[in-house]
Structure 1
Amino acid sequence: MWFTRLSIGNPWLATMMMVAFVVLGLFSVQRLQVDQFPDVAFPVVVVQTDYPGASPESVESEVTRKIEEAVNTVSGLRALTSRSYSGTSLVVAEFELTVDPATATQDVREKVAAIRATFRREVKEPKITRFDPADRPIVSIAMTSTGTRSLRELTTLADQIVKKRIENVRGVGQVNLVGGVKREIQIYLNPAQLEALAIGVDQVIAAVRGENQELPVGALRSAAQERVVQIQARAKTPDDFKRIVVARRPNTGSGQPVYLSQVATVVDGQQEQESAALIDGRETLALDVLKAQGQNTIDVVDSIRKAVTAVQRELPPDVKLEVVKDSSTPIRTAVSNVARTMVEGGLLTIRLR
């Protein structure tokens, strides 16, 4: 009660203290991080491993079961579930709530790394991520063309320009392309020619893999300078692939070479489309932007919009970027409603007094 008596005896002091509290509150509220949901860390780790071309049964026996046996030995494990799809293995490890998510992720990563050498060569590097309920796109950007550009051309522009610019924005964690198709050199073998020339499929695969690569050789050093030596033999066009020597005919004196063009058809095509993005029923290319953990959604979205405006000037005139989804809108609305309610509550309190 001493504070009440002090305020009654010194009204100016009480007024100045209240004004100081209000100013301090206004100053602090502008620097508070705002998000739609609280930052809750769940100790759940996901291991995704790609095994291209493998059936679900092969994925289960060659990948999933080995990962399960390794991860099952991690302490604090509560539940372990897995799914084996065509070409993909998915293992989800759920730990007790008392386990630190970062520690659980590191333990799983070490266990998977220990068995990595037992996988077949065709199995890709496992992707180990920590489950985050807020790990969803905060912004979706549609990339369209008013001209005759194909989806493949838009994908190239998005991958080489737009995606890189947005990834450099402060607070952005990841940018995913949805509905894109990338360039792919496709080689269709001719079984009759292979049989006639006594060439196996494995010989063709080995020749293409061996000729299409870039390797560092070393360095040439002298008293005045040092030069880095590299082998740049990566094929860039279908004609480069056609000139690859896949075998040599043993019945000729000089070992006449057999080129890839003699046993296969090389096509400059595109990868199979695995996802699709539609706007008003029209197929388009979308970029989903995920924020980094602990970042302010509103600040990140504002920075992304500025980056989209800047990168639009670097694109051809017929290519347009449009933000079609903005997760900060309901957050802004909720904050505005809270602020208005606070003001109304304060005015009603003063009025009732």
Structure 2
Amino acid sequence: MATIFYRNLRLLILTILLILFVGLSSFQLLPRMEDPELLSRVATITTFWPGTNAERVESLITEKLEDKLQDIEEIKNLESVSQRGLSLITVELEDSVKEVDPIWSQVRGKLNDAQVNLPKEATEPEFEELKIKAYAMLIGLTWEADNEPNYAILRRRAKMLEDELRSISGTEEAELRGEPDEEILVEINPITLSSLGLTPQQVAQTIDESDAKVASGQLRNLENELLLEVDTELDSLERIKQIPLQSSISSQITRVGDIALVSKGIKQPPSDIAIR
């Protein structure tokens, strides 16, 4: 075999060129296993219309946007959710679509065309492509000391590591997952609570109703329905301590801080997990 290539120089050059061509073609066609390029065929369209009921959002925003998007043949599926003051549409492209950027450009163009027919009070439709990425590295932090884990320290160290990884040249994104949640504990003396004729459930309900995330009323007219909220957001321990409690035995008014110990800490995980 070697003698054939030695005597025929043209055949040798042709064979080398053929091997190079096949190698380069295979390199371009084979996916990169370490950092594969994944196509994102899903996007969301979010439109806000504050104070409007779900029926009007559906008819005046969601349906108009869907009518425009249905003209794009490459769209496989449209799913929508219309809630009070919110329209959310999920767009999924056909699996056969290999170049998604031109299709997303068409979607943006359709949204611009439909915007002139939307209510003036509604916001501009927000288009967001759901990126699909492969993680290059997963890092887990564990507590190796003999004492009980201090999740506050772990959380702080994890955020420091996240910032350091972001600063490395070539890093596109660093995301922190599984960080422990903070919680506020209200520890009540049961004897003191019983003397006021109150139960833990009543105290919890009073605290919950004092949170600004709970609407205190509604303002309605022929076209809109607005939610009213009181500026009493529980953004500090002191505000929780100042929440008034009325005794069911007498007309005495007591503050939460007078009968309970209010503190902030890390929410303990409900169970143990194993990482392999």
TM-score, normalization by structure 2: 0.45
Higher relative contact order (CA 8 A, sep 6+): 1
Q: Which structure carries more strand by proportion? A: 1
